[in-house]
Amino acid sequence: MQSDIIMKEEIIMKKRVLAIAMAACMAASLTACGDGAKETTAAAETTAAAAAGDTTTAAGETPAASTGGVLKIGGIGPVTGGAAVYGIAVQNGAQLAVDEINAAGGINGMQVEFKFEDDEHDAEKSVNAYNTLKDWGMEMLMGTVTSNPCIAVAEKAKEDNMFMLTPSGSAVECVQYDNAFRVCFSDPNQGAASAQYIGENKLASKVAVIYDSSDVYSSGIYEKFAAEAKNQGIEVVSAEAFTADNNTDFTVQLQKAKEAGAELVFLPIYYTQASQILTQANTMGYAPMFFGCDGLDGILTVEGFDTSLAENVMLLTPFAADAQDDLTKNFVTSFKAAYTDTPIQFAADAYDAIYAIKAAAEKSGVTADMSVSDKCEAMKTGMTQITLDGLTGEGMTWTADGEPSKAPKAVKIVDGTYTAM
């Protein structure tokens, strides 16, 4: 057993070294290729080809000078439990970005130390994780991953005036304070965008919805979807809820959707329940189109799930691993080399989050000797002054209320992989 553990640790270390070496090579190649069209921050100059993309300052200004020292960034999310696929993806995507940035010289000369804590998708445990990271010396937070824990931690971060950038916390309340920003779309934006995508592409005129009324993520998306559906000429013929206490048998909800003649079932829920719904729909001979949001990302990893049942399922998500742009191809190559796995959207969200932190810190002149609160004040301004060409969107910008601006995208599962639509 001891030798197995040692061998695993050696394999992980070799993968990590390979990822850092790849980042350094990419950084060197970029340095040799000048672009007089615009000035870029250090992030763009040294790591764009590694998938962060061009990161420009607000007005083409020269980035802050290097300062040296260390910048401690914490992360929180589920790496065990039912939502672990999200947290593991975020942890790995963020770590890959950190390794690349450190190999290329850091942030304003500061080397980044990254520490990730498990919250098991539980609000109370997420607050405990936040306190653990504070004891470690966290100066900025990249997290948390899921909405309810993110809301709980946001209260603590506000009290400390700690800068936080959640990669995937989509509930409105996740960024209700001025120290909090997000990479993903908010729940209302996902709901409206889903209805618009279905309507504009004429996917269906009769739609059923199955959602979790006990979850702010799911119910928030549903409410906005239902409102926008009216504008798109979509009839919601059935809207059936479940709760966290009753989330394994969906035959009643599916039967009502079938009887109402729904051509498409909208699933603003997480992948575990979605896999059960697809399995039960197949058992009862009901085969409508299925359309979900970023919570469905991970459905292909559910243990024991027949992934053929997910064929042609559509997701509103900003990342597809099979996309052929250079940013995505380089990221996927590096991610597979480091973790022997194909990245999902949550990994891309986290990767973009770390590069957004780098860009904003360099734009606002964050230094190692600044207090946590002073760093936060600088980042509040810096985030509104950067533009990031990342994996989850081109020309991404942020407003002072913490919301990103980028174009929505959708993918379809084809032959067991996510394919850009």
Return the HEC string of 179-222: CEEECCCCHHHHHHHHHHHHHHCCCCCEEEEEEECCCHHHHHHH
For 82-98, the pLDDT digits (tens) are 899 999 999 999 999 99
Q: Which residues of the chain carry a pLDDT beneath 70?
A: 1-67
Identify the pLDDT of residue 216: 87
Given a contact cutoff of 8 angstroms between Cβ atoms, the answer to whether 168 and 146 are in contact is: yes
Q: CB neighbours of 166 closer than 8 A, spacing ≥ 6?
A: 142, 143, 144, 145, 150, 174, 175, 180, 181, 182, 183, 184, 353
Distance CA 351, CA 319 (A): 12
pTM, whole model, 2 decimals?
0.74
Q: Which CATH superfamily is domain 70-185+323-406 in?
A: Response regulator (3.40.50.2300)
Q: What are phi and psi of 399, to 5 degrees?
A: -95, 165
Token pair listed for 111: 């080397």
Task: Give the dihedral sign, CA 13/17/23/24.
Answer: positive
Identify the pLDDT of residue 239: 98
Identify the pLDDT of residue 67: 56
Distance CA 11, CA 378 (A): 39
Distance CA 109, CA 112 (A): 9
Token pair listed for 59: 């007005």
DSSP collapsed to 3 states, 64-129: CCCCCCEEEEEEEECCCCCCHHHHHHHHHHHHHHHHHHHHCCCECCEEEEEEEEECCCCHHHHHHH
Identify the pLDDT of residue 398: 98
CA triple 106-367-111, angle to 5 deg:
25
Distance CA 411, CA 421 (A): 5
Which of 379, 403, 404, 402 is CA-nearest to residue 393?
404
The CATH number given to 188-317 is 3.40.50.2300
Identify the pLDDT of residue 318: 86
Would you kindly state where each structural domain of the chain is located, as residue ranges?
Answer: 70-185+323-406, 188-317
For the sheet with 163-166, list strands across it: 111-118, 70-77, 140-143, 163-166, 180-182
Distance CA 181, CA 121 (A): 20
- Amino acid at site 250: F
